[in-house]
Chain A
Amino acid sequence: MTSLRSSVRLPAASFAAGLLLITGALPVSAHASFPDGGAVATGSTTVVHVRIGHGCDGAAVDTVEIQLPEGIVGARPEYVPGWGLEIEVVPSEPYDVYGETMTERVGVIRWTGGDLPDFAFFDFGFRATFLLDPGSVHVPVIQRCGDAEVAWIEIPAEGEDHDSLEYPAPELTIVAADEPA
């Protein structure tokens, strides 16, 4: 490896330090969110994760529940070692799977029995088919720490900004099929 010229060493180190400063010290967003849900192609089958960024008032999270709105079908939760898994099937609008018409879908996914400390975060994933038109979709998420809970279930009203709510339901953005992700 060629040695770096002395005139480049110091600026390079500063730049690297700066990058690390930015990426390393960024606080993880405290709202439950879909970090990889910003551009889900309509009609696609993909995996998204809901990020639980903290506990309940200092307590560790032992249960995470999400309610999938109409249009998110064929959901399969991602297995999390050490946590239990439960799903609830709900009646739904008819939709087509390999030529067969379905009238039910997985409506609730629940990870249970875990121990996610307040100072940590975790991304709980699921794979599903998003039969939704382009736009925003809000997915209510509840995290529980024993008897305490934090319910990310506020849906913004017409014209209301998602970020202005205190406990907004995490938002998925569905985009047209030919748009780059």
Chain B
Amino acid sequence: MPRSGRRSLPAAILLLAAALLALAGPASGHAQVIEVDPPDGTILAIAPSAVTISFNEGVALAPGGITVVDATGLAVDTEPEVVDAARIVQPLPPLRDGWYVVTWAVVSEDGHPIRRASVFGVGDADAALRPAPPASPAAILPAAARALADLGTLVLAGALAATILLRAPVAPVAPLVAAGGLLALAGTALLVLTGLLAAGQVWLATIAGLVAVARIPLLAVALLLRDRPRAASLPVLAALLLIAPGGHAAGDPIAVALLAAHLLLAATWLGAAPALLAVQRHTGTDDPTALAVARAFSRLAGIALVIVALAGAALTWRLTEGFVAGVTPWLAVLLAKIGLVAIAALAGALGRRHLAREPRRSGLRRLFLLDALLLAGVATLSGALALDAPRAGLHDVHGGPDGAARCTLRAGETALSAILRPALPGANEILLGGVPADAAGLTLELRHPAIGEAPVAATPVAGTEGWTAPVALPFAGDWTLTVALRPDRFTLLRGDCTLRVGG
């Protein structure tokens, strides 16, 4: 072995060791945030083009990285972030008015991940979160459109049912087919228009939007085929059944099936009333056809009523989840509708007896007129039912009766109570009770599973054992309030409780 080789090995190792020691990084602590832009809690008049977070040292993004979510929890950071040594820059698309939450997770050189959050608002941020006022005039329009569309479709389907099932003569019924079809077409078109105006193009992608748009060509075809009842029956049937998936039953196949059955039988029962009235008025006094039709209807009506009632009851049970919410406005409208139907059923029962004994045409005419009027009333109420929610709980504000959320917590041996007002997304106030005003080191933090912690700056309320803090909550949900007290320099007492924010 050459001598140079024996000398060079230990030297090489020493050289390598020296190089490695020189490269070994210095011990470092947690990366500290120097600046967040936009600053936490600020409202900007113009949406920022990016969120920038500056640190005191180089950081790496932890899994999760940086996210920006809007008030509904939807992520708005579509572009990738840029990590530039000690800065993270997250470019933003144009943002609408509202509150936004920025969350970031970084790993500093010691390997510990740190999660932080910051909140900012754009424009009239709070207004964007306020729930829409109920029963505004504009809300009537979609209900009216629905009522018209349903009424027209029922009349159209009923007229065809009268012709096909009850063997009613075509001539007196034809105008009703045309009228019903036109009314249905107009109502459905209006429904599509109001849907687009209220929710924009995205409405067309909803089930309600899709079925409403699908009904239009079906109704048009039916109108074109109005002189051929059997040919028209198929598109009309489709148009009638497509009403079912567009309402509150949307997304629930059993509820949709129940509603479809309900509509189908309602068409043959109440829906046929105008057609039957027309038949009675049109034919001659001694014409046996009218009576035959009335008798056929009478036989059908009994069964139809039972099915309509059963399907309706099952549907209501399903939509209100067993009447869990008690009597809600929706249920009240439904009860009114049931009342009208009960009147029609009673009138029908009387009519049957009338038919069985000595049928007088005038009596039948009055019966069918009553039915036709009730049909109009039922259709209107159905439209109103489409406005409101079957379960009151769906739109409840989860705060307390006076619009606040409360919770109690223990920080060490100290019991504290917290009140959050108004417990709605947007600007809130936290009142913390049970803390002496001279308590040092009081820190508050609000945490939401979607965003991590957000520190809250609290100030004491003079003369009380309370502290108050303004806080902006971007969205509803269960927020965890963590309160920390530092009674002496070596002791940190912490406790937390949950505040439910409605929306």
Contact = CB atoms under 8 A, between A and B. Distances in A.
A65 B490 CA distance: 9
A13 interface: yes
A177 to B, nearest CB: 29
A73 to B, nearest CB: 18
B30 A119 contact: no
Given A27-B111, A67-B490, A140-B490, A21 B5 contact: no
B114 A20 contact: no
Interface in A1-26: 1, 3-6, 9, 12-13, 16-17, 20-21, 24-26
Interface string B1-44: 10001100100110011001101111111101000000000000
Interface string B365-403: 000000000000000000000000000000000000000
Residues of A contacting B: mostly: loop
Contacts of B6: 1, 3-4
Most chain B beta carbons < 10 A, residue from A6, A20, A53, A166: A20
Given A17-B13, A57-B56, A119 B26 contact: yes
Contacts of B109: 27, 30
A3 B5 contact: yes
Contact of A153 (B26, B111, B491): B491
A126 interface: no
A151 B443 CA distance: 14
B27 A30 contact: yes
B112 interface: yes
A105 interface: no
Contacts of B23: 24-25
Most chain A beta carbons < 10 A, residue from B16, B24, B29, B30: B29
Contacts of A120: 26-27
Nearest to B13: A16
Contacts of B16: 13, 16-17, 20
B13 A13 contact: yes
B204 to A, nearest CB: 48
Contact of A25 (B25, B29, B110): B25
Interface residues of A, number: 41
Given A54-B27, A119-B27, A20 B20 contact: yes
A140 B488 CA distance: 11
Interface string A82-120: 000000000000000000000000001000000000111
Given A6-B5, A27-B28, A28-B27, A17 B20 contact: yes
A159 interface: no
Contacts of B196: none
B9 A53 contact: no
A53 B1 contact: no
Contacts of A4: 6, 9
A12 B32 CA distance: 42
B108 interface: yes
A166 B114 contact: yes
A155 B491 CA distance: 9
Nearest to B23: A25
A25 B20 contact: yes
Contact of B110 (A1, A30, A154): A30
B489 interface: yes
Interface residues of B, number: 31
B491 A30 contact: no
B396 to A, nearest CB: 33
B492 interface: yes
B9 A13 contact: yes
A25 B20 CA distance: 7
A9 B29 contact: no
B491 A24 contact: no
A9 B25 CA distance: 29
Contacts of A26: 24
Interface string A19-56: 01100111111110000000000000000000001110
B492 A153 contact: yes
A17 B13 CA distance: 7
A131 interface: no
Contacts of B26: 119-120
A81 interface: no
A16 to B, nearest CB: 5
Interface in B481-501: 489-492, 494
Nearest to A119: B26
Nearest to A117: B26
A13 B16 CA distance: 9
A30 B30 contact: yes
B482 to A, nearest CB: 12
A66 to B, nearest CB: 9
A54 B21 contact: no
Contacts of A28: 27
A51 B6 CA distance: 41
Contacts of A155: 492
A142 interface: yes
25 contacts: A4-B9, A6-B1, A6-B5, A9-B5, A13-B9, A13-B13, A16-B13, A20-B17, A24-B17, A24-B20, A24-B24, A27-B27, A27-B111, A30-B108, A30-B112, A31-B112, A54-B29, A57-B32, A65-B489, A65-B490, A140-B491, A142-B489, A142-B490, A153-B491, A157-B494
9 closest A-B pairs by CB: A28-B27, A30-B110, A54-B29, A30-B29, A67-B490, A140-B490, A25-B24, A119-B26, A3-B1
Given A3-B6, A26-B24, 5 more contacts: A16-B16, A25-B23, A151-B490, A154-B492, A157-B494
